[in-house]
Amino acid sequence: MICAAMLAGGIGTRLEQGKPKQFVYINNKPILVHSVEKFLNVAKFDKIIVSSPKEFIGETKELIEEHFPKNDKLVVIEGGLTRNGTILNSIKYMKDQNCEKDSILVTHDASRIFVSEKLIEDSIKYAIEVGAASAVIPATDVIFESKEKGKLTDIPLRKYLLHAQTPQSFNIDKFLEIYTDLSEDEIAKLDEAMMLFYLRNADVKLFRGDQGNFKITRPFDITLAEAIFKNSHASK
């Protein structure tokens, strides 16, 4: 079984739109709809699991039904209190469907609306081959580390630094095997899925991402996304 977890469980406060970012319109469509469309174009998925904050479950279901009526590949579930909690809820859904051993979950930030089908396909392929995989792009800026507010404490070598993107994919049985072995302190560090594999030195395949696969997080990102769509329409 191969499923996608569309991570849309946050409320998007940094976007300053007064509502969760998945409902914000870009190029006349909600952000969530853009991303779901990309994943529906990849035929390998058995299910696309859309997470939602508890208080927006009804609105999310209405949105999905409006844009993708009677599509049985799509399911809306309640997101967790954290990103890790949302991933665990998605895995639980798969297990409740009696998924086969070594099933794959492809996690994706719903706000990365320019993800390509190739990135999604690559993510599935490498997760099957290695057990876990993440799209990455090289860091282009020097990165300062500050462990004390306002104080420079380290400057890591840029040539070793990569920006993580999604899709991030993994074998759910390997994920659960490691998760059950983690301490409470280690679980608290899980702000993204690949950290879990890193904590137990499990292999993670890092594959080339895409500069255009940026995450819509702040108001400027909406302006940039609208400009990309406008330029795309003008060139047709």
CATH of the domain at 84: 3.90.550.10
| pTM given for the model | 0.93
What is the pLDDT, as a whole number, of residue 102? 94
So what's the pLDDT on residue 87?
95
pLDDT under 50: residue ranges of the chain: none
Domain count of the chain? Answer: 1
Residue-wise pLDDT tens digits, 186-226:
998 888 899 999 999 999 999 999 999 999 988 999 999 99
Asked, for residue 232, whether it belongs to a domain, the answer is no
Residue 136 lies in a domain: yes
> Does residue 61 lie within any of the structural domains?
yes
* pLDDT given at position 15: 54
Range of the domain at 18: 2-226
Residues with Cβ within 8 Å of residue 213, at least 6 apart in sequence: 112, 114, 115, 116, 119, 135, 165
pLDDT, position 189: 82
**Would you say residue 145 lies in a domain?**
yes
Q: What is the sign, positive or negative, of the torsion defined by CA atoms of 75, 168, 80, 202?
A: positive
Per-residue pLDDT, 191:
81
Q: What is the pLDDT of residue 108?
A: 97
155 belongs to a structural domain = yes
